[in-house]
Structure 1
Amino acid sequence: MPKQVINPPTVHTPIGRGYAHAVRVGNTVYIAGQVALDAQGNLVGKGDIRAQTEQVFRNLQAVLEACGGSLRDLVKITVYLVRAEDIPTFREVRSRYLPQEPPASTLVVISRLASPDFLVEVEGIAVIGG
C-alpha cells in the first residue's frame, strides 16, 4: 500500500526537514509530534501550558483536516509534558478538543523536549473513513 506524505501549509514547516507532519497509509494517518508553533514557525505561549496545548491541538486539527479527517478520527495519542504540575491544565484543554469518544492516550512526563521552550508535544494515530 503506498504512503502519502502530508505537510499542510496551515502548519509550520517541519523542523530540520527530516520528517513529515503526517504519513497516510490507506485509512490510517500517523501524525508526528505536534508542538506549540504557529504556521509561521513562531512559538505560541512561552511558559504557558494552556496556550501551548491549545496550539498543539490546533496543529493536530489542521493536519487531520488536510487528510480529510478531524480530531474525532484520532484513535491514539501520546502526550509528552515537561512538568507534572501541568497535567490538570493539559487534561482540561484536551477534554474540550476531544469531548466524546476520546482516543486511547498515553501521557509521559519527561525532562525536556526538542526546544527548552516547548512544554508539551502530542503525536497521534487516526483512522479516517473505512
Structure 2
Amino acid sequence: MAKQVVSSPSAPAAIGPYSQAIDAGGTVYLSGQIGLDPGTGQLVEGGFDAQVHRALRNLRAVAEAAGASLDDCVKLTLFLTDLANFPRVNEIMQEYFARPFPARSTVGVSSLPRDAQFEVEAVLVKG
C-alpha cells in the first residue's frame, strides 16, 4: 500500500520523527495536535479554550492539506489533562464538527507535550 505524507504550513511542523498526517489509500491518519501557534511554535495564551480552538484549527489545516475536511472525520481521540474540562470541550467541538459526529474516545492524561491541556488526533476517510 502506498503511503503519502501530508503536511501544512498552517499547522505546527512535526518536531520529531513523525508526519503531520499520512494518507493511506484515502484513509488519512492525523497526528496529535496541541494548541501550538504554527507561526511561533509556542503554546497559545488564553487557557484551555484557546488551546482547544487552536488545536482544532491545526487539525483542520492538516485535513485540508490532505484534500479533506473535518466533515470527513470518522474517529477522534481527545487527551485532556483535566477531565473537568470535558463539558467545555464538547461545547467547543460543536463549532467544528457537524452531525453525524465522528466516533470519539476521551482519555485523561497526567501531562502532554509543552504542558498543553488538550490534544486531539483524528482519522479521516476521504469521500
TM-score using structure 1 length: 0.92
Native 8 Å contact 1:5 1:22 kept in 2? yes
Counterpart check, 1:31 vs 2:8: no
Native 8 Å contact 1:49 1:89 kept in 2? no
Counterpart check, 1:83 vs 2:82: yes
CA distance in 2, matches of 1:114, 1:50: 17
CA distance in 2, matches of 1:79, 1:120: 7
Aligned to 1:119: 117
Structure 2: give runs of 5+ residues left out of the alignment.
Answer: none
Task: State the Cα RMSD in Å.
Answer: 1.0
Task: Using the TM superposition, give the Cα deviation of residue 52 of structure 1 relative to its aligned residue in structure 2, in angstroms.
Answer: 0.5
Q: How does 1:63-78 map to 2 (within 5 A)?
A: 63-78=62-77
Matched-pair identity in %: 40
SS of 2:9's equivalent in the other structure is coil
Q: Which amino acid aligns with 1:121?
A: E
TM-score using structure 2 length: 0.94
Native 8 Å contact 1:71 1:97 kept in 2? yes
CA distance in 1, matches of 2:13, 2:67: 20
Q: CA 1:42/1:115 → structure 2, altered by over 3 Å: closer, same or farther?
A: closer
Which of 90-99 and 63-72 deviates more? Answer: 90-99
Aligned length: 126
Q: Which amino acid aligns with 1:107?
A: T
CA distance in 1, matches of 2:31, 2:42: 18
CA distance in 1, matches of 2:43, 2:2: 34
CA distance in 1, matches of 2:121, 2:75: 8
